[in-house]
Structure 1
């Protein structure tokens, strides 16, 4: 009889997680905070939603790893859906040697941005000296790209 009670308690605790994930999956179905193909940041992971199931969601991280996240964790986490806005900013830090011409470097970077078809003209890209580091002058580049092409621009 005691063994049956202990078994019932163990099953109750183990079922609690499954039930929480199931209910969170139902809430996510109606709330639709993300959909397959959306680039997201959630529960400490960043990548593209690969699959949404009733108990868990799978995200392919930017390095190609497939991560399964329980829906309860997603439902209780802050979700940054990077597809919800038409444009996203790409931030890049470029270090150049102190002996280089800073004005010329900024000019070359701006010209390169103008020639990149996926970089938006508005809002205008910002290029400026961010820091005089120990071994380099760090130039910060902020440019905007269509959300669906953000990763392509970031990779070039």
Structure 2
């Protein structure tokens, strides 16, 4: 091939390539603009549901890079770049990194699922596995609880996701039970009516569902009554209402002379009396 023919061949190839290059550049620039818009949209949407700046920032970046990578691959395809080989290389690299960061990736995925499901929120009173307290923070890595004793517990998200979760704050009404030991010589029906009337008058006890007092079991030194009542924990303190009920039952029992026995033991001495 002479010089003129070679030059013509190069020019024809360039003319065929330039439109593809321009299209690729336009697509790449459009991808950058679109990725920025998607990142802002994700940030606004997630921020309205999650009170965690780090998580919002992370999800926003993931959205930005996801759109950017996809657009870059499409742009490279316009200039006949070997996209298949590139994707295969990314896949191998992803698998390698995944094995190396297995625990981190598991916690991240579990964190994403928890954020989507939202079984609890910041400030909720929860029980997760053997830990009970209020939720301090929720991130893509872990969930932090503050126990009722003031201790901070950091739980990996994979443990949270695979554990039974009890959310005490999800429903406003909670039921409490007070067990009362009643002397065997006492009139059970009278005690039930008296305690029930007393509980109804305690501040914080709901009228509906109505409180109940039932005989629970026959103990060694007393018949056990179970007094059950409901409290709206958004309007009244659960523990304070429980305490008021216990005090009210004790006071009315003392006023009416009702025996609330404590466990006793009788020892018989051989050949004589009792001590």
TM-score normalised per structure 1: 0.79
| Greater Cα radius of gyration, structure 1 or 2 | 2
Cα deviation for residue 118 of structure 1 reads 1.0
Instruction: Please point out which of 79, 103, 109 is paired with 2:165.
Output: 79
Instruction: Please point out which of 141, 145, 153 is paired with 1:59.
Output: 145
2:89 aligned partner:
none
CA distance in 2 between counterparts of 1:45 and 1:99 reads: 42
- Work out whether 1:89 is the aligned partner of 2:175: yes
SS of residue matched to 2:221? coil
**CA deviations over 1:24-74 (Å, ceiling 9, x no partner):** 112212221111111112222222222222211122233433222111111
Q: Which runs of 5+ in 2 are unaligned?
A: 1-95, 245-275
Cα deviation for residue 140 of structure 1 reads 0.4
Over 3 Å counting, the alpha-carbon distance change for 1:49 and 1:28 in structure 2 is same
Richer in strand (by share): 1
What is the root-mean-square deviation of aligned Cα atoms in Å?
2.4
2:241 aligned partner:
153
CA distance in 2 between counterparts of 1:105 and 1:96 reads: 8
**CA deviations over 1:101-156 (Å, ceiling 9, x no partner):** 43443234223311222110011111011011112211101111114343443344
CA distance in 2 between counterparts of 1:74 and 1:83 reads: 17
> How many residue pairs align between the two structures?
146
CA contact (8 A) 2:212 2:227 kept: yes
- Work out whether 1:116 is the aligned partner of 2:227: no
2:267 aligned partner:
none
CA contact (8 A) 2:231 2:241 kept: yes
Over 3 Å counting, the alpha-carbon distance change for 1:62 and 1:105 in structure 2 is farther
Instruction: Please point out which of 50, 70, 84 is paired with 2:136.
Output: 50
TM-score normalised per structure 2: 0.47
CA distance in 2 between counterparts of 1:12 and 1:137 reads: 61
CA contact (8 A) 1:95 1:137 kept: yes
- Work out whether 1:16 is the aligned partner of 2:105: no
1:126 aligned partner:
212
CA distance in 2 between counterparts of 1:68 and 1:61 reads: 11
CA distance in 2 between counterparts of 1:67 and 1:155 reads: 28
